[in-house]
A and B are shown apart, each in its own frame.
Chain A
Amino acid sequence: MEGSSSNGDDFAVGCILSIKTSLGDEFQGQIVTFDRPSNILRAQEGPKSGSRRNVRLLKANYIKEFSLLGKAEDPLDPTKSFLDLPSIQAREEAAIRQAEIEAERFGVGVTSEAQRIFDALAKTLPVRWDKTVIVVMNEVRVSSPYHSENVNGGTPAANDRVKKVIEFERKRLHTRGTSQ
């Protein structure tokens, strides 16, 4: 079906199709629009009554096969289509901000075990990555391989606490690994 749009047959808006892509995906959705110049098919998935749906923009030339499941009305009413530009902008900014916060929690070039230790420490203590070193409370540094003896710096109390958390987490990981 690749290149189906080239033959001039446009997808009927409102049709409910089951589509298989050439990359192995399969989904069912209602055709919202098909833009011939860009060869983009926009389909929406999910219940019709729901306010939020999954939207899929698919290049038509990657459609392997499709089958018609039904026909419905045009789901997009231009007369009722509104865009709130400030909210869109705010949404994007908030999403980026959140993504940046979450991105800082992932260590780059660290093992999954180190990441789990980081996550365990982050539950109770403010932590951040300094390359591959976990920095707890901006004073205690836990370097690879992230054992309790690799805890350096900070006040004795903070140091001991970090060591305890690491030991506990390693014990928990060990028990989880053995149970599996």
Chain B
Amino acid sequence: MGLRIEEPATETCSSSFDALLFTTMCMIGLPVEVQVKDGSVYSGIFHTASVDGEYGVVLKMASMSRKGEGNVNLSVGTVVDTLVVLSADLVQVVAKGVLIPADGIVSNVNNDGAKMVTSSALPPSCHSELQIEPKTSKSGKAISESSTEEDTEQTCQNGRLNQNEENISVHDLEVKDFKNGFPAKGGKELGLREGAAKPMESMLEIENGKTDTVVMAKVEEGSSGPFFTDSSDERQDGKGKRQGGENACGTCKDDNMVHGAPCSSSPTAACIPQLNYIDGMAVKISKILPNGAPSASLASTISEAPEHEMPTSVHSQPSDAPTHVSTCSTSVVDFSLPSCLSPLASPTESVPSKKTVCNTNSKEFKLNPGAKTFSPSFPNLRSTPPSVTAVSSVGYGPSSSPMVPIVNAQPGIEISHFAPRTSVPAKFVQYSNLVAGNSGGGTLYAPRNSLPIAGNVGSREQPGRYSSQYQAGSAYVHPNSQTVMVGRLGQVVYVHPIPHDAIQGATTLSQGPARPILAPQQVHFPKQQGTAAQALQVRMTTPYLPAGQQSLGVPGHIPFPQPFPAIRPISVPTINSVFGEKISDESSWRCT
């Protein structure tokens, strides 16, 4: 949003004036030091200046940094809200660290302007201006219709061309209007004010959309502004006043009151007389300076510009842009600014669209939050044998078992996870008690300390988590799926084998650190082996990997004698309650 100063006329006076005006505006808002003729130095924030013949400045939050020879009723360090230094008293103004736009920020400004102008909503605003401006020219003002249309056409063309190359923004048109005594500007202003003066109902009609309320608020704010009120009153009072309103900027220029908004009528009228009124005194300090009000009002009007811009950006309907522009620009000096910003609507609209996408994704996984995480591995898991999905692979091979997603998604739930599993073989039904036992242990086998488990294995109870490694005399090997029934001490334990995939998957996760730890804790159960001559090695581990995921790797390729002499299905002691507590712990347990 750059305001490009038009190349001044050939006259040296106007060139120097423009240069002085430009440099003065570059100093606005910067800390300056002002030296007056008595030698006193005041520091403050450069607020505004009067270049009407003589150069006077106004500082905000000023304080005397050096006391001069004159008697000033102001102590060093005392901060005053507004300090007016008249031209007669001014010696010099020193501003440090002034960034001349032509030196450094030209490109940035141009880019900003380009961004705003290149938005897609500009052409509609241009059309709207085209519709409005002829009305204003017909109203009898000193508006050159051709020039107005030319300006608008330029604006539209710039909008179509995205104004990137020429760096021409709407402000260029503003400046041109400024040079021409603000004819087109006044026309625009008039038209815009007409739009702003419409009843709220009409505004609502125009602004059809959900954001009507917001727009109304903004409109009211704009109407509450002094500049807006004054201008609208002038416009409504008649042609003469309207003419005055149009010439407000011209008056401003005549007065040469420089501020962030050089074409504000009311602040100019308020400021300049004040400066003249206190002429003759060395330094005028006023905390209740009338200037403060107009300046503040001006500041408010200018500062309201972004607020007004917001609704324009909010509205997505291109047809809304002109109305907004008209409403907003009335209170702002540079009223094409909102029109220039109106294209912001389209980039703003894109944001909700992105949010919609995100919401859609979140809705997709709302029912099953874990599905999204594990869905990529599901096709591979489907390839595993159905028997594998039964019980034992749940806790051991989380990455390769279809049960894994459920376990990982809801680790706190135990047996219920297996209920929906339809892939459990029919034979598994008869070992329903084992299912329960294994479900509690297999799925959630996570004993923090595996030593008690090893003791149980050797002594009396079969905790049901014993995998195919436990070869007992009455062990039963599932013919198809290598499901193993392991029994010891006269009891039979059904142990579901773990497929190689599951084991590999498990070992892949913790093979490295687990192997050396498991080695010294191998336990042999030669007496518990049945007809099988091969010894089983149960490797139980101490609470290693306390923070890691618990895993129990059980190879399923151990030969078992067939048939079993007697199969006595036993009910594994319900250790669910025991392991239920241990489930929460995340230690690692491996049995191979």
Contacts and interface: CB of A to CB of B under 8 A. Distances in A.
Interface of A: 10, 21, 23, 25, 32-40, 42, 44, 51-59, 62, 75-86, 88-96, 99-100, 103, 106, 108
Given A78-B8, A81-B22, A85-B337, A37 B61 contact: no
Nearest to A91: B29
Contacts of B102: 76-77, 80-82
Contacts of B39: 23
B92 A76 contact: no
Contact of B60 (A44, A54, A96): A96
B98 A88 contact: no
User: 6 closest A-B pairs (Cβ-Cβ)?
Assistant: A92-B29, A33-B19, A91-B29, A99-B61, A51-B104, A82-B2
Chain A facing B: main interface SS: mixed
Interface string B544-585: 000000000000000000000000000000000000000000
Interface stretch (B154-162, B299-307, B396-404): B299-307
Nearest to A11: B16
A118 to B, nearest CB: 13
B96 to A, nearest CB: 5
A42 to B, nearest CB: 5
Given A36-B16, A53-B100, A59-B90, A84 B105 contact: yes
A100 B61 contact: yes
A23 B353 CA distance: 64
B23 interface: yes
A83 to B, nearest CB: 4
Interface in B1-35: 1-8, 12-13, 15-20, 22-31, 35
Interface stretch (B50-58, B455-463, B502-510): B50-58
A83 B92 contact: no
Given A25-B92, A99-B60, A92 B47 contact: yes
Contact of A83 (B7, B25, B31, B93): B25
Given A57-B93, A92-B47, A40 B99 contact: no
Contacts of B51: 35, 38
Contact of A84 (B90, B101, B302): B101
A25 B66 CA distance: 14
B101 A83 contact: yes
Nearest to B99: A52
Contact of B31 (A52, A58, A86, A95): A95
A37 B13 contact: yes
Contact of B110 (A44, A57, A82, A93): A82
Contact of B91 (A59, A76, A82, A103): A59
